[in-house]
Amino acid sequence: MDNIYHPELELPDHFDHIKYIQTKIYSDQTSYTYQDLVDIIFEKDPNFGLIYPISWVDLIMISNLVLERVLTIFDLDEDTNLYITKEILKMEELNMKTHKKMEDFAEFWEMG
């Protein structure tokens, strides 16, 4: 789940993250781009499914992650400086096998 985006805050948004991934995916021996990897997948299996079936437990875990995030953001009081609070910059990843969360923070200087 990407960080909260608002145009006035000038934070990295979802498209900035995708561009970063697209330009940074490579291995030491080759220089595959993000698009190269997508092409290889569909070349091997033209019927590759983009649908990922989830269980009720997965759905509850995802919903919980989203609700916790929304409640945290809306719990910030009006005096909170949105430029210095890490909550606005937080991104979270949920491992669908182990249900463990990983947190990171999106900042422009990390994406350059």
Q: Which pLDDT score is estimated for 56?
A: 92
Non-local CB neighbours of 4 within 8 Å, separated by 6+ positions: 11, 73, 87, 88
Check residue 63 and give its pLDDT: 92
47-to-16, 35, 39, 67 alpha-carbon distances in Å: 29, 17, 12, 34
Band (pLDDT 50/70/90 cuts) for residue 57 is very high
Residue 69 confidence (pLDDT) above 60? yes
Containing H/E element for 105? strand 101-105
Band of residue 11 on the pLDDT scale cut at 50, 70, 90? low
Copy the structure tokens of residue 64.
Answer: 């919980």
